Amino acid sequence: MSHADSPVPVKARSGNTLTGRMCPPGDKSISHRALILGLLAIGETKVRGLLEGDDVLRTAAACRALGAQVTREADGAWRIAGAGIGGLHQPEQVLDFGNAGTGSRLMMGVAGSHPVTVTFDGDASLRKRPMGRILDPLTRMGVTVVDQAEGGRVPLTLKGPRETIPIRYETPVPSAQIKSAVLLAGLNAPGTVTVVENQASRDHTERMLRLFGAQVSVEPHGEAGRLITLAGQPELRGVELTVPADPSSAAFPIVAALITPGSDIVVESVMTNPLRTGLITTLMEMGADITLTNERENGGEVVADLRVRHSALRSVEVPPERAPAMIDEYPVLAVAAAFAEGETQMRGLHELRVKESDRLQAVSDGLAAAGVAHRIEGDDLIVCGDGSAPPGGGTAQTHLDHRIAMSFLVLGLAAPGGMAVDDGAMIATSFPDFVPAMRRLGAEILEG
């Protein structure tokens, strides 16, 4: 499914219980990084379990355009023959990242630190997203912004310097994309690059850089922050790795089972990196019956199987400092909160305004369409429930946002009136198998 085609309306109906086991697709953050470090490594990288969603396929195409050989084997493993740090080719075409913030922003760090001239573009959603947060540190590293759309947006063109300048950079907002763009640019800088974050964000770049042979040190900084130091111009060597299942995709079947009476499912091999499990923590505080079993290591990350049973949920206050560990999960948490008793208060959600859509507004509009009492107070979202299912029955506008689409379909699985979304096409960016996977658990979801 591609958004060049006409919108795909999708509807979810309630009345079925969810049972059985499912394994969500590979983690999107890790999939992007595996391809990118494969491009920058010498030799061959083999990746199993890569997310074959549109966002990641765009990164694969960009890696090819920059000089890597990227192929998919018959058994589903991906092979990347790297171009190596310093070895990137001048691409012949514009790098079109579609809907992908992560792919485009991380690749700006990679390409921007090489003596090539690269134009980045994307779909109508990506064209609205702020890129100044990446251009600011990259400019300090010697990168020239040759051209940009108004307000620091794509389409934009970067020209890399002959020699990248190593910097120390404090991220203005907790963002793994900003941190990673600086670290990836630092790979081609003669010297040490330091990123300071006042609140720790997901650390997959740091972990994977080490796996490929870079020297990265991570120290605590202040109360909840980190100071990350990378020694520039390492020789990265290709590796074999397996991508663990994406906790951000697991969130949808998890919440669906919690709110659908009689449900009892197991979501397998979910990555439980503590910088990604804010939703699980929050749901457990709300009284969710979730048990973690079979904890094990997979591709440098810890994974576990999660048994999830329908639960009576109660409201909680989600503190702003938890946001980085669950930033993509607020839309589906808002859905869980609609079934909980009391006022669930989600604080400090300003970053939701600059995702694939203005997620704070899109969630609020979708909740209104589903008949859920709620309000926005500044950067906070407050959802008011009485412990019973909201009526549902409306249509949520998805604004090219996969997480909005999946969240409101999940709501429809347990609301008496069901729920429709205007367009499910974007689900393919992160969870291409979402509809069939949910149907296998017993959900009734109808396309078209």
Ligand X SMILES: C=C(OP(=O)(O)O)C(=O)O
Interatomic CA distance for residues 83 and 39, integer angstroms? 6
Structure tokens at 14: 């309630």
**Three-state secondary structure of 289-357:** EEEEEEEEEECCEEEEEEEEECCCCECCEECHHHHHHCHHHHHHHHHHHHCCEEEEEECCCHHHHHCCC
Q: Which residue has the tokens 């509807």?
A: 11
CA distances in angstroms from 123 to 3, 53, 273, 297, 307, listed in the order given: 9, 15, 31, 36, 37
CA distances in angstroms from 256 to 297, 325, 374, 432, listed in the order given: 27, 20, 20, 18
Q: Which residue has the tokens 């997620």?
A: 359
Any known ligand binding at 33? yes
Beta-carbon contacts of residue 378 (< 8 Å; ≥ 6 apart): none
State which amino acid sits at residue 310: H
CB under 5 to 8 A by kind: which of ligand S3P, ligand X, none does 180 bind?
ligand S3P
Segment near ligand S3P (CB under 6 A), from 51-59, 172-180, 272-280, 364-372?
Answer: 172-180
102 binds ligand S3P, rule: CB under 6 A: yes
Measured from the CB atom, the residue of 102 and 273 that comes closer to ligand X is 102
- Minimum Å distance from CB 264 to ligand S3P? 29
Interatomic CA distance for residues 79 and 27, integer angstroms? 17
Q: At what angle do helices 132-140 and 101-112 cross, to 10 degrees?
A: 10
The Cα angle at residue 125 between residues 250 and 184, in degrees rounded to 5: 70
Handedness of CA 32, 37, 42, 44 (dihedral sign): negative
Is 328 one of the catalytic residues?
yes
CB under 5 to 8 A by kind: which of ligand X, ligand S3P, none does 214 bind?
none
Measured from the CB atom, the residue of 102 and 201 that comes closer to ligand X is 102
Segment near ligand S3P (CB under 6 A), from 143-151, 169-177, 363-371, 410-418?
Answer: 169-177
- Minimum Å distance from CB 191 to ligand X? 29
Any known ligand binding at 28? yes
180 binds ligand S3P, rule: CB under 6 A: yes
Measured from the CB atom, the residue of 105 and 114 that comes closer to ligand S3P is 105
* Catalytic option among 27, 96, 203, 328: 328
357 binds ligand S3P, rule: CB under 6 A: no
Any known ligand binding at 133? no
- Minimum Å distance from CB 328 to ligand X? 4
Measured from the CB atom, the residue of 311 and 398 that comes closer to ligand X is 398
The answer for 222, left when phi > 0, alpha when psi is -120 to 50, beta otherwise, is left
Structure tokens at 221: 């900084």
Interatomic CA distance for residues 428 and 126, integer angstroms? 16
CA distances in angstroms from 21 to 12, 15, 271, 272, 336, listed in the order given: 20, 19, 16, 18, 21
CB under 5 to 8 A by kind: which of ligand X, ligand S3P, none does 301 bind?
none
- Minimum Å distance from CB 351 to ligand S3P? 6
37 binds ligand S3P, rule: CB under 6 A: no
- Minimum Å distance from CB 58 to ligand S3P? 14
Q: Annotate each residue in 187-226 with x if it binds ligand S3P (CB under 6 A) or - if it does not, as one string.
A: ---------------x------------------------
Under the rule (CB under 6 A), what is the footprint of ligand X?
A: 28, 55, 100-102, 328, 355-356, 403, 430
Measured from the CB atom, the residue of 351 and 433 that comes closer to ligand S3P is 351
- Minimum Å distance from CB 84 to ligand X? 26
Measured from the CB atom, the residue of 333 and 419 that comes closer to ligand S3P is 333
When computed from its CA atoms, the radius of gyration of the chain, rounded to whole angstroms, is 21
Binding site members for 3-phosphoshikimate: 28-29, 33, 175, 177, 328, 355
User: Annotated active-site positions, please?
Assistant: 328
Binding site for ligand S3P (CB under 6 A): 29, 102, 175-177, 180, 202, 327-328, 351
